[in-house]
Structure 1
Amino acid sequence: MENAKNNAKSYVDKARPVHTFAVCAYKDSPYLEACIRSLKEQQVKTDVICCTSTPSPYIEKITGKYEIPLYVRDGGSNIREDWLFAYNRAEGELVTIAHQDDVYRSDYTKELLKAYQKYPDMTVFVSDYMTLKVTEKGTKTECFNTVWLVKKILRLPLRFKFLSGVRPVKRSSVIFGNALCCPACTYQKKMTGEEMFGSKYEFALDWDNLYELAGRSGRFICVEKPLIAYRVHEGATTKACIEDNRRTRDEMAMFEKMWPSWMVKVLMHFYVKAYDEYE
């Protein structure tokens, strides 16, 4: 533990940013500006960059307005490659892959750095979240729904911080489904390394990545405050993955890695019902 504290202090002493929000921009999302604005309005100022594989005047205009660097990846759009590109472009020791549709509370970075100072061996930081549902009648904020409640229950073991570095405790948050909201996660590069998101899955790559990280040394630190608003809308990637069955295939494959076939059928029965949250 002492070595981890020394490493954290030596990093903070450097000129490089401690934390970076790396926004992944895809095409011309009408929610991109709200996301970036929420990052620029953090109570504790932090580094913000934007990365894309679909450059456009629209993205250039918004990043120029908020004076943040824009990095363009050559090649076709791919969630895994786009996330890895953003992760590697981020200079901070702590990296949050920000999704363009979501909004972060102004104290996200404050809570993150507080946790990092107290637990310098933290591999993953994650918070609770709210849901923004976009409908024809407008946007509705949901602080409670069935999926949210189940995920909150699955995260209960992580509340015991003295056990947050124990493999079975970390794995307990991902073996019955992914209880960690992907855009609410921040990764410490010194603990996670340069190669991330090596999963073969298209939809469940964040879940697979967290399952793999849970098997390594380091803590999963969870703050049960809704520090992010997760937006659900017709154009979201999650919605598209449900409609073309990518989500079902990936989630079944993940459960097959962890459970016998009879248990996979039980879990998938309830998991598919959760898709209704995106209707």
Structure 2
Amino acid sequence: MKKREYFTAKDHTFTICAYGKSEYIEECIKSVITQNVRTNVIICTSTPSEYLDLLAKKYDIPLFINEERKYNSDIATDWNFAISCAKTRLVTIAHQDDLYKPDFAKEVLIHLNGTSRPLIAYTDYAELRNGKEVSNIRNLNIKRIMLFPLRPRFMWSSKFMRRRSLSFGSAICCPSVTYVPENLPKQLFIPGYKGGIDWQAWERFSKLKGEFVFVNSIQMVHRIHDDSETTALINGNTRTEEDFAMFCKFWPKPIARLIEHFYKKGEASNNL
């Protein structure tokens, strides 16, 4: 009989990735320290500043500075560092502009408990546009359709269904993901990608034995604004090139190019 996992609040950490001086980071901090099930919270940065020092002291949160970023300027370096700073079995990389619903940690723990080899847990999400939370929009509804086959618990361990879902695009919202590092590769994120760094990670993880745990309820809010990294990448060519490379991991090139064409139109909705 397979061993069933049991996780508690002490097993989870929100690692807030801070970069520069975000006007939204304090809202993010408040959303994770006021969880209905209080877990651990830390801040990680490669751009130390007095502003972050003051926030860390104000909310009594440990602050970790990534010195390696000076020699390797890549998002993957920041995210790998964020994971390494958390000394718990479960880690959520909280993006500084986003918000977490009060039951996020509670629902993640509930869904992870009873699994046998969880790899990641992820939730449904809404978007924050011009100060208004929206969830019933075309782009999000398409992503929900893509994730529909992974709703049933018995599908969480299916490599085939995971890869079929990922073959049409990245429907898993990166800041909604909780990682189980002990069941994942030592290096979670591979340097080189910009906008597709999360998708390439899911693709690698999808080949592993274990479970993609889906919390089918809106538990976090992803902020869309003109200064976000996602918006910047979509406005350039970087995202298009990376998306095509990802589709080629699942499809022959002619089919990959066709899917990428329609996928690009959907991603354009990230612009305000």
* Superposition TM-score tier, normalisation by shorter sequence: over 0.9
Using the alignment, how far apart are the partners of 1:106 and 1:141 within structure 2?
15
User: Structure 2 length normalisation: TM-score?
Assistant: 0.94
Using the alignment, how far apart are the partners of 2:270 and 2:171 within structure 1?
17
- Find runs of 4+ consecutive structure 1 residues off by over 6 angstroms: none
* Pairing of 1:1-80 with structure 2 (within 5 A): 2-3=2-3, 5=4, 8=5, 17-74=10-67, 75-76=69-70, 77-80=73-76
TM-superposed CA distance for 1:129, in Å, is 0.3
- 1:202 match: secondary structure: coil
Number of the residue aligned with 2:154:
162
Amino acid at match of 1:2: K
TM-superposed CA distance for 1:199, in Å, is 5.2
Using the alignment, how far apart are the partners of 1:199 and 1:271 within structure 2?
23
Cα-Cα RMSD: 1.6
Using the alignment, how far apart are the partners of 1:234 and 1:163 within structure 2?
37
Number of the residue aligned with 1:237:
229
Number of the residue aligned with 2:132:
140
Q: Structure 2: which 5+ residue stretches go unaligned?
A: none
Amino acid at match of 2:107: E
Amino acid at match of 1:69: P
Number of the residue aligned with 2:78:
82
Amino acid at match of 2:255: M
TM-superposed CA distance for 1:124, in Å, is 1.0
Using the alignment, how far apart are the partners of 1:173 and 1:96 within structure 2?
22
- 1:156 match: secondary structure: helix
State the Cα deviation string for residues 130-173 of structure 1 (Å, max 9, x = none): 00013xxxx12211111101110010111121121010111122
Q: Percent identity between the aligned chains?
A: 36
Using the alignment, how far apart are the partners of 1:265 and 1:194 within structure 2?
32
Number of the residue aligned with 1:128:
124
Does the CA-based 8 Å contact 2:2-2:116 persist in structure 1?
A: no
Aligned pair count reads: 268
Using the alignment, how far apart are the partners of 2:258 and 2:132 within structure 1?
32
Moved more, 144-153 or 187-196: 187-196
Does the CA-based 8 Å contact 1:173-1:180 persist in structure 2?
A: no
User: Structure 1 length normalisation: TM-score?
Assistant: 0.92
Equivalent position to 1:92, from 84, 88, 95: 88
TM-superposed CA distance for 1:78, in Å, is 2.1
Does the CA-based 8 Å contact 1:130-1:229 persist in structure 2?
A: yes
Amino acid at match of 1:36: I
Number of the residue aligned with 1:181:
173
Using the alignment, how far apart are the partners of 1:90 and 1:147 within structure 2?
33
